[in-house]
Amino acid sequence: MTDIARKSRSVSRGVGLLLCLTLALAGCGGGDDGNSSASTSPGSVTSPEPQNPIPSVPDTQPDDQPAPADTVPDSDPNNSAPNDSPPYGAPPIGSAPSEPPSTESPSNGSSPADSPSDSAPQAPSTPPPEATEPEPEPESPPTANNAAPTITGVAATSVNVNSLYTFTPAASDPDGDMLAFEIENKPSWATFSTVNGRLTGTPRAEHEGTYPNIVIRVSDGNTSVSLPPFTITVVPAESANGATLSWIAPTENEDGSVLVDLAGYTIVYGPSREMLHNSIRIDNPGIDRYVFDDLPAGTYYFGVKAFNAQGVESAVSNIVSKVIQ
């Protein structure tokens, strides 16, 4: 009777082992075909199968055979649930193989090559300065050959008190440069234009005397030329029977072209506008005034004509008149 009970306890223990292995495999991803073994991934631990089916355990099996490590203790035969905790140091049955530790640092958008080395700190990388080419020096504008301006004219050397004095030189520039005029030793009673070089004024009695070394100069911005120095003498007023005639030198021809060869003037006068039969020729383009003395009583009309080096004469100027008592 004792032997029958011992055999019954051994069979009961074997059935419990079979149930434990089957449930453990089913809970850990084992196959559903009821086999006691399961296929796992490489590196997983496979539970050892019993060498012989449990029902055919021979009666000679010792009663004190140790149970496998994952079996339920014999003190609770009704508890067939497998132990979820794997043996110490062993991975769970059916788990994925362990992977080697990753050498990548937490993802922050950089690759391992960008991470600083643990052995030697690196200085923060800065982009090298861009190479700049030296700017070329500005080229100097080509220097053109400059032609000097020209200036001509002969100024009157005397003027009566209370009479108008005026003189304008003729100047031009072959290059067409803008011209500017200047004067030295200008008489105190006269004014001067830096635009056209005109010297003009009306001296009074207190201005009687001589004004020497007057120089008129013209410049194109590069070269300057001047007239020969001249002197103006202020003389007493004309006699009661005299007349002083003055004019402004022309600078253009009748067709609008520049007058460059002015040669002199012709003064015409007579008893009426239609009868200018008397004439006086002045062969000096720098003269711009003329004084008549000791005229007989009467009314006189005066006009002036200009002529060039070829002898071509202009039309008569506006007509002026004076009554001699």
What is the number of structural domains in the chain? 3
Q: Say if residue 30 is in the same domain as residue 45.
A: yes
Residue at 141 is within a domain: no
**Within-domain flag for 108:** no
Residues 317 and 244 in one domain: yes
Same domain for 3 and 91, yes or no, is: yes
- Taking the C-alpha atoms of residue 308 and residue 283, their distance in angstroms, rounded to an integer, is 10
Cα 179 to its chain centre, rounded Å, is 36
- Which pLDDT value is given to residue 280? 95
Per-residue pLDDT of the chain (325 residues; tens, 9 = 90+): 445 444 444 444 444 444 444 444 444 444 444 444 434 444 444 444 545 444 544 444 444 444 444 444 444 444 444 455 555 454 554 444 455 444 444 444 444 444 444 555 565 566 666 666 666 666 555 446 889 999 999 898 888 888 889 999 999 999 999 999 999 999 999 999 999 999 999 999 899 999 999 999 999 999 999 999 999 999 888 777 888 888 888 988 988 899 999 999 999 999 999 999 999 999 999 888 888 888 899 999 999 999 999 999 999 999 999 998 8
Number of neighbouring beta carbons within 10 Å of residue 155: 21
Instruction: Report the alpha-carbon distance of residue 155 to residue 212 in Å, rounded.
Output: 12
Look at residues 166, 158, 163, 157 and name the one whose alpha carbon lies nearest to residue 322. 163
114 occurs within a structural domain? no
- Nearest by Cα to 270 from 303, 231, 225, 310: 303
User: Would you say residue 107 lies in a domain?
Assistant: no
pLDDT given for residue 198 in this prediction: 95
Same domain, 233 and 243: no
**CATH number of the structural domain spanning residue 295:** 2.60.40.10
State which residues form the domain around 313: 239-325
The pLDDT assigned to 134 comes to: 63
pLDDT at 71: 44
4 and 23 in a single domain? The answer is yes
Say if strands 230-235 and 158-160 run parallel, antiparallel, or are unpaired: parallel
* Cβ atoms of 146 and 175 closer than 8 Å: yes
Report the pLDDT value the prediction gives residue 244, as an integer from 0 to 100: 84
- Residue 166's beta-bridge partner residues? 200
- Long-range contacts, stretch 279-287, CB < 8 angstroms, 24+ apart: 284/154, 285/152, 285/153, 285/154, 285/170, 285/249, 286/153, 286/154, 286/155, 286/156, 286/167, 286/169, 286/249, 287/154, 287/156
Residue 121: predicted pLDDT = 56
Extract the tokens encoding 110. Answer: 């950089």
The number of angstroms, rounded, from the C-alpha of 164 to the middle of its chain's C-alpha atoms is 58
CB 231 within 8 A of CB 214: yes
